[in-house]
Amino acid sequence: MTKTLESHTSQNVSPCDTHSQRALLLMEMPLAEAALRSGAASEFDRRIQSLEARSRQVLSCAPRESFAWLLAFDLKFCTDG
């Protein structure tokens, strides 16, 4: 799954392709959780930054994308308390 997320193709998916972006977000979420559980702080931070950036990109193109809003809220709540 990590190779898929880091592939050139997934990095170049249009922010407006909400179906693909949602799939990539769903793929990355368990990787962030696994990094947190294993204590890999730098990996966790990298995953959180990636999730935040991807959710912002989706929302810039599709502001009514409810899943991206929910994720953005959750990430903001988790990082800012």
The Cα 49–Cα 62 span in angstroms is 20
What average pLDDT does the segment 61-81 reach? 89
Q: In a 10 Å sphere around its CB, with 0-12 CB exposed, 13-18 middle and 19+ buried, how is residue 28 labelled?
A: buried
Q: Which residues neighbour 18 within 8 Å (Cβ) at sequence distance 6 or greater?
A: 58, 61, 62, 65, 68
Other CB atoms within a 10 A radius of the CB of residue 58 amount to 26
- Count of alpha carbons within 13 Å of 75, Cβ hemisphere only? 24
Quick one: pLDDT at residue 2?
Answer: 65
Question: pTM, whole model, 2 decimals?
Answer: 0.85
pLDDT, one tens digit per residue, over 26-53 is 999 999 999 999 999 999 999 999 999 9
